[in-house]
Amino acid sequence: MVHAAKLAIVIDDLGYQPMPAALSALPPQISISILPDTPYDKTTSELAQRQQRDVLLHMPMEPLHRAPLEMTTLTRQMDQFTLQQTLRGSLKRVPNAIAINNHMGSALTQNPQAMGWVMEVLSEQGLFFLDSRTTARSVALRQAQQQHVPALRRHVFLDHLSNEKFVKQQLARAVQQAKKNGYAIAIGHPYPVTLDVLSRALPLLEGQGIELVRLSDLNPPF
């Protein structure tokens, strides 16, 4: 499959419950992203490492619209010290993370100063950034580039409607995006329907000219 297009899939929002058995049963190329300061953040991180998965920190960031916020949410009101210490503390909860991606964050990822502070921490720790793209106005990739932090962006959300037909449609979109551009990144959640669709669809990818890869296999550019 030398010429196969590459597809990376990240499952977000882990940490509040143990890793679902249906997720553990998926290929190790499926990456996971863990919310910090949750009951199962460390144990999930350790299990994923044993399963040889890429692990990300799913860092809570301030949204534009009112929503319940995680305790560790980075906000525009924080000064540099508070924001960076909050991020460093969260990374200690998921010590084998290779990257972070934003949980919510439609407000913070538009803020150049705040995202610059985030990139400083990632640079010092040798991590990369995956922009979940919760807003088209995100400046995260630009700030990463300015500070020489490797960065990638999400192309498709698999399951903002949690039903089988929609998840299948979104996965097909991700496949088409990969074929068009050479690779694509899809983000989903540990919903039973999402994991069920993936369990049935992933074995068919090779026949569609798609190689399922770990996120780190995409070699994030500077």
pLDDT of 156-176, one tens digit each?
Answer: 999 999 999 999 999 999 999
pLDDT for the residue 196? 98
Query: What pLDDT score does 167 carry?
Result: 98
Task: Compute the distance between CA of residue 209 and CA of residue 199 in angstroms, rounded to an integer.
Answer: 18
User: What CATH number is given to the structural domain containing 169?
Assistant: 3.20.20.370
For the cut 60, the answer to whether the pLDDT of residue 43 exceeds it is: yes
Q: Is 152 helix (H, G, I), strand (E, B) or coil?
A: strand
Residue 222: predicted pLDDT: 47
DSSP secondary-structure letter at 208? G
Domain with 180 in it: 5-218
Paired tokens of 15: 């940490």
- Domains contained in the chain, number: 1
Q: How confident is the model at residue 219 (pLDDT cuts 50, 70, 90)?
A: confident
